[in-house]
Chains A and B, each alone.
Chain A
Amino acid sequence: MVGEIAALAPSVFVKDAWLIALLPFVSAALTLFVGKRTPGKGSVYGITAMAVGLVMSLGVLWHFVNNGGPYEANVSWFQIGPLAMQLGEYVDGLTAIMVVVVTAISLCVHVYSLGYMKDDVRYTWFYVVLSLFTGAMLNVVIASNLFQLLVGWEVMGVCSYLLIGHWWEDKTNSNAAIKAFLTTRVGDVPFMFGIFALIFATGFTTSNIQVIGRTVAEGHVSSALVAAAALLLFGGTIGKSAQFPLHVWLPDAMAGPTPVSALIHAATMVAAGVYLVGRLFEVFVHADAFVLQTVGVVGAITMVGAAFLAFVQDDIKRVLAYSTVSQLAYMVVGMSMGPAGRTAGFFHLFTHAFFKALLFLGAGSVIHAVHSNNMSEMGGLRKKLPITFWTFLIGSLALAGVPPLAGFWSKDELLVVADETGHTVLFALLLATALLTAFYMTRAVLLTFFGGYRGHDQPHESPKTMTGVLIALAGASIGVGLLGAPQLGDAVFGKWVFFEEVEKAVFVPWIAGVSVAAALIGIAFGWLVYRTHTERDPIRRLGPAYTLLEQKYYMDTFYMKGIVFPIRDKVSAAVYWINQNVLDGAVNAMAPLTKLVARVVNAFDRKAIDGVVNGVAETAGFTGGLLRYVQSGNVQRYAAFLFAGVVIFAIIFTRV
């Protein structure tokens, strides 16, 4: 019954979707101001806000389950000349999916952190930033215009910085935070210019995304401008979604607490870049074909390159980080294949968010148990952490693309689209990446949970708040893929997220077969190599190739030696010299000059101006001194003057 009403008109959830984005901000403020005086140190506010937000998000999704249409509402913010700035919400199926993902993952992470961050020095602060981040991400997702989106985008960046550097007492952590912030900013600059270009395209009237989309679609804008805007926007995606060549910050961002990695650096913030491409898809589609090809090439390079890098990592979180980079590139490649690819890409984003959050939180549970990030100090944890093991295994299989888990359906969808649209090279690369993914995940699982224990601390299963979340996410990792499964009639997901026309999921048996084969080959190969694990990681036998991967293709080295050091040593030295000699010289020269001028002014003030003033006073005093003797006090003398005066006047007047 409710469904029929919702299908007719936007429900209250859709109309008030902006409340979903506002709630986390409120909880962040509450936690900040009264958190420390609240029993449990304030985590209750964030968790409540996320739970309510999740319910409201599901309400929004329900509208689209019942084939509801998109809804937009704006209020005026301010006006600069012809440019009308607004605050608003735009809710369509894509928004609904994103708010559900963000609130669900955020709720999981908030609850999980109860156990993981217990007794942390900055426990309350952690929850403040966590809530603030979620609010910013929801703002990005809900925003109806580009400026509002940009505000959320930048607040996310700051929160990411704060959370990566949460344990800033350790210098490497704060370095990682700075690196992440600066690297994403490199992408943000073109992003901002892309926004300006699009506003220019509307004739400086609005930054509303839908209006921009229509303007571009009508073809009144020059193709060069559209192409430039699309490429500039993609710069933002490269930064935020850690695509080649700006992917280097994401692995280092693992310095942050693990729940943060799960929320920000796996499921939500890094997906914002992909979301941006999808939200402004009109611009990308109507730009020159060359733009989407560039997107595809960047995605393909990242996808394969990052997957190889995951091979050699010892830090379990870094394995997952490179896996995230690789999987985000999967989505980007999906975007590059047109409207059908967009749906498939977002489906992958949707499923990936759940199983990657699960994997990160599982890794967090392991780290919580053994007090080390390194897989060389783990091993044999299968018996000691049974819940973590089983959930992690489910997450790994989902990521590897084993049916019927979530990852299988979304990868399969991407492969089908690649085949249908004739992207043969991308098809091959997607398949290869699937194989590589299966291999490195098998390696991670075997190194962590099988063999003998190589650590020092006594491992123990994590508290219920953590394992509960793991179980919930494992359930989601199994279930959410079915939303896009072609076997269940018309795939539901394509009805929610589509471009111009509803996408139907297609099941092609041979593609599914190849995909499963790739996953199984990867797993089998991993099993063969790592089944009997010795102290020395077998991957080291690769020799020079291993060194190349170990050095991350020398990209960090290049950035440090080619960009950071020259700026630090040469440019900053030059600036320092200029500052010391030129600027300070000028400043120092000014001081004696000022003193000299001050002396002159002082002398002038004392001699000339004071002289005049004192002179007037002295003259008046001298004259008064002379005249006072007239006041003798002798009444008869006064009377004599009086008569003398009268006589003088009398003489004057009688003369006249």
Chain B
Amino acid sequence: MIRLPLILFFSAGLFSVGVYGVLARRNAVLVLMSIELMLNAVNVNLVGFSQLWHDLTGQVFALFVIAVAAAEVGIGLALVILIYRNRETININEVNLLKW
């Protein structure tokens, strides 16, 4: 049995790595991947608390998050492909038309 604080620390670390990736990476694909890390950090939390309380609701919720994440990645990658076709780049710093 893994103790809850360990799980929470792990989850927080995983989430922080995700945030760093989202904020620092220039490559759109890597940004998407970082978002996956953040989502899975949440999943770890959900499963951890589910185990603590002996309640399956958290695990079911985690399954939903996985499904939604899959869909999100599908749409995100499609967008990236379209951006690449139009701009010849997937550097999100160069995708900044929508500004003042």
Interface residues of A (CB under 8 A from B): 628-629, 631-636, 639-640, 643
Query: B93, A634: Cβ atoms under 8 Å?
Result: yes
Q: Which residues of B contact A633 (CB under 8 A)?
A: 96-100
Q: Which residues of A contact B97 (CB under 8 A)?
A: 633
The dominant DSSP class at the B interface is: loop
Checking B23, B93, B100 against A631 with a beta-carbon cut-off of 8 angstroms, the contacting residue is B100
Q: Which residues of A contact B98 (CB under 8 A)?
A: 631, 633
Extra contacts besides A635-B96, A636-B92 (13): CB < 8 Å = A629-B100, A631-B99, A632-B96, A633-B96, A633-B97, A634-B96, A634-B99, A635-B95, A636-B22, A636-B23, A636-B24, A636-B93, A639-B23
Bound-complex Cα distance A628 to B98 (A)? 12
- Among residues of B, the one whose C-beta sits closest to the C-beta of A634 is B96
Known A634-B93, A635-B92; judge A643-B23 contact (CB<8 A): yes
Q: Which residues of A contact B93 (CB under 8 A)?
A: 634, 636
Query: B22, A639: Cβ atoms under 8 Å?
Result: yes
Bound-complex Cα distance A628 to B19 (A)? 26
Bound-complex Cα distance A631 to B19 (A)? 21
Lowest 9 CB-CB distances: which A-B pairs, in order? A633-B99, A633-B96, A628-B100, A631-B100, A631-B99, A640-B23, A633-B98, A636-B23, A635-B92
Bound-complex Cα distance A631 to B96 (A)? 10
Query: B95, A643: Cβ atoms under 8 Å?
Result: no
Interface residues of B (CB under 8 A from A): 19, 22-24, 31, 92-93, 95-100
Q: Which residues of B contact A635 (CB under 8 A)?
A: 92, 95-96
Q: Which residues of A contact B24 (CB under 8 A)?
A: 636
Bound-complex Cα distance A634 to B24 (A)? 12
Bound-complex Cα distance A643 to B95 (A)? 21
Bound-complex Cα distance A633 to B99 (A)? 4
A345 → chain B, closest Cβ, in Å? 106
A327 → chain B, closest Cβ, in Å? 106
Query: B92, A632: Cβ atoms under 8 Å?
Result: no
- Among residues of B, the one whose C-beta sits closest to the C-beta of A646 is B19
- Among residues of A, the one whose C-beta sits closest to the C-beta of B98 is A633
Bound-complex Cα distance A269 to B53 (A)? 120
Q: Which residues of A contact B100 (CB under 8 A)?
A: 628-629, 631-633
A417 → chain B, closest Cβ, in Å? 114
A551 → chain B, closest Cβ, in Å? 104
Most chain A Cβ neighbours within 10 Å, of B24, B97, B98 = B98
Q: Which residues of B contact A636 (CB under 8 A)?
A: 22-24, 31, 92-93
26 A-B interface contacts by CB (under 8 A): A629-B100, A631-B98, A631-B99, A631-B100, A632-B96, A633-B96, A633-B97, A633-B98, A633-B99, A633-B100, A634-B92, A634-B93, A634-B96, A635-B92, A635-B95, A635-B96, A636-B22, A636-B23, A636-B24, A636-B31, A636-B92, A639-B22, A639-B23, A640-B23, A643-B19, A643-B23
